[in-house]
């Protein structure tokens, strides 16, 4: 078996014991990383050998979310959806696609782990380009400087995903926008977000009601613009002068309304997903005075995020986090919420895309 593994053409393979000491290192692993077997066998894989970093910038070798460590701890094989980045002997960062599995003895006890990896630079370059394009569709620094009452953050399950936050000028000085969550995640869902962005452009500067946004998107779906992915969406139109906020919902999770001082509750807006049914009626709600309030719109990946035991964070967990972090500025609030949910999962990557959009009226009460 070791002879077979040693002669795999393009697949690096290494095996560790339960303490993650490397006991086998094949020829392809040496070729990909530049480290000969004699330089690494007997050393711990986290002893400045691989120096794996994930796409979030975390050092995996010093963390509890190392894919190989998790495979041995949980006793099951894992194939992360995204890539890890290894340090080659010359110091270069090498993108890797990896698969890991525990090694068990005859009694089923985990005695070690095996990782198979291959160089994936060309794939990562393509996905990084797609990621750059998708990020340009999100609210940028200029928009957030123009509308400081807005904040958003996202962490995709893969390098690109199916969550979309889009804000743009509405009619008569209003600000319009939506958070949409496409079914699935990855490249296919990301392409649908691009379709939505391109078809929202005609509404800029014209839309008066969030229902117009959802009806426009539903009409496009019915015309065959997107036939494989249904999606939820929550749209808003906000008048920052009159401090009036108007919401419309299409099958999206209930938003959270926070009062300055800490109280919070969910707003009930039951309605259907776009594309799942033919209905064009969407639940609406108007807040005539948004002063001293804050609204948090989020994708369902936030409440459905599981911990290692499979327990979901749930609505109560998200509401508690929203209340605890409500003293932060809107952009920081959104970022802290996403980071909190990601940390709750104790995983290498989220199971689903995580996105939060915050609209803030707290500052209005202080000004008045």
Question: pLDDT tens digits, residue range 171-209?
Answer: 999 999 999 999 877 888 888 888 889 989 999 999 999
Which residues, at least 6 apart from 30, have a Cβ–Cβ distance to it below 8 Å?
36, 37
pLDDT band at 322 (very low <50, low <70, confident <90, very high): very high
Number of Cβ within 10 Å of residue 20's Cβ equals: 18
Query: Does pLDDT of 98 surpass 50?
Result: yes
Averaged over 304-321, what is the pLDDT?
A: 95
Question: Is the torsion defined by CA of 106, 118, 96, 342 positive or negative?
Answer: negative
Across 339-357, b (16+ Cβ under 10 Å) vs e yields bbbbebbebbbbebbbbbb
- CA separation for the pair 200, 219 (Å, rounded): 12
| Nearest one of 163, 150, 149 to 192, comparing CA atoms | 163
Residues 6 or more apart in contact with residue 343 via CB below 8 angstroms: none
Q: Is the Cβ–Cβ distance between 121 and 162 less than 8 Å? A: no
Classify domain 125-367 at the CATH topology level: Phosphatase 2c; domain 1 (3.60.40)
Confidence band, pLDDT 50/70/90 cuts, at residue 15: very high
Q: What is the mean pLDDT of the chain?
A: 89
| Percentage above 90 pLDDT, the chain | 58
Residue-level pLDDT at 276: 66
pLDDT of residue 367: 39
Q: How confident is the model at residue 55 (pLDDT cuts 50, 70, 90)?
A: confident
Among residues 209, 208, 233, 236, which one has the least CA distance to residue 220? 233
Domain ranges of the chain: 2-119, 125-367
Fold of 2-119: Beta-Lactamase (3.30.450)
pLDDT value at residue 366: 44
Residue 155 reports pLDDT greater than 70: yes
Name which of 63-72, 194-203, 205-214 the model is least confident about: 63-72
pLDDT-based confidence at 170, cuts 50/70/90?
A: very high
pLDDT of residue 262: 74
Q: What was the pLDDT predicted at 24?
A: 95
Token code pair at residue 157:
């399950």
């Amino acid at each position: 078996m070791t002879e077979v593994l040693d002669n795999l053409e393009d697949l690096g393979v290494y095996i560790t014991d339960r303490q993650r000491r490397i006991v086998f290192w094949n020829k392809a692993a040496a070729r990909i990383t530049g480290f000969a077997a004699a330089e690494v066998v007997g050393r711990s894989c986290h002893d400045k050998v691989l120096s794996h970093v994930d796409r979030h910038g975390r050092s995996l070798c010093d963390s509890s979310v190392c894919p190989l460590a998790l495979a041995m701890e949980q006793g099951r094989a894992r194939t992360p959806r995204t890539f890890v980045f290894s340090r080659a002997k010359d110091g270069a960062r090498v993108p890797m696609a990896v698969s890991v599995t525990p090694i068990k003895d005859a009694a089923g006890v985990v005695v070690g782990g095996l990782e198979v990896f291959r160089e994936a630079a060309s794939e990562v370059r393509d996905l990084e380009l797609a990621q750059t394009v998708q990020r340009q569709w999100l609210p940028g620094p200029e928009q957030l400087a123009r509308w400081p009452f807005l904040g958003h953050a996202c962490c995709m399950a893969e390098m690109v995903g199916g969550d979309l936050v889009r804000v743009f000028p509405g009619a008569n000085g209003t600000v319009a926008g939506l958070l949409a969550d496409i079914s699935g995640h990855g490249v296919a869902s990301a392409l649908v977000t691009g379709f939505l962005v391109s078809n929202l452009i005609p509404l800029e500067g014209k839309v008066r009601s969030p229902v117009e946004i959802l009806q426009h998107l539903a009409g496009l779906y019915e015309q065959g613009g997107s036939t494989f992915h249904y999606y939820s969406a929550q749209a808003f139109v906000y008048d920052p002068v009159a401090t009036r906020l108007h919401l419309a919902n299409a099958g999206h999770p209930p938003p959270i309304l926070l009062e300055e001082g800490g109280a919070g509750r969910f707003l009930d807006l039951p309605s259907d997903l776009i594309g799942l049914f033919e209905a064009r009626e969407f639940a609406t709600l108007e807040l005539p005075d948004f002063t001293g309030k804050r609204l948090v719109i989020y994708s369902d990946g936030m409440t459905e995020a599981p911990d290692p035991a499979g327990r979901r964070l749930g609505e109560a967990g998200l509401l508690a986090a929203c209340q605890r972090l409500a003293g932060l500025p809107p952009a920081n609030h959104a970022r802290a919420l996403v980071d909190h949910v990601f940390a709750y999962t104790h995983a290498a990557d989220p199971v689903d895309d995580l996105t939060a959009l915050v609209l803030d009226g707290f500052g209005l009460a202080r000004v008045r």
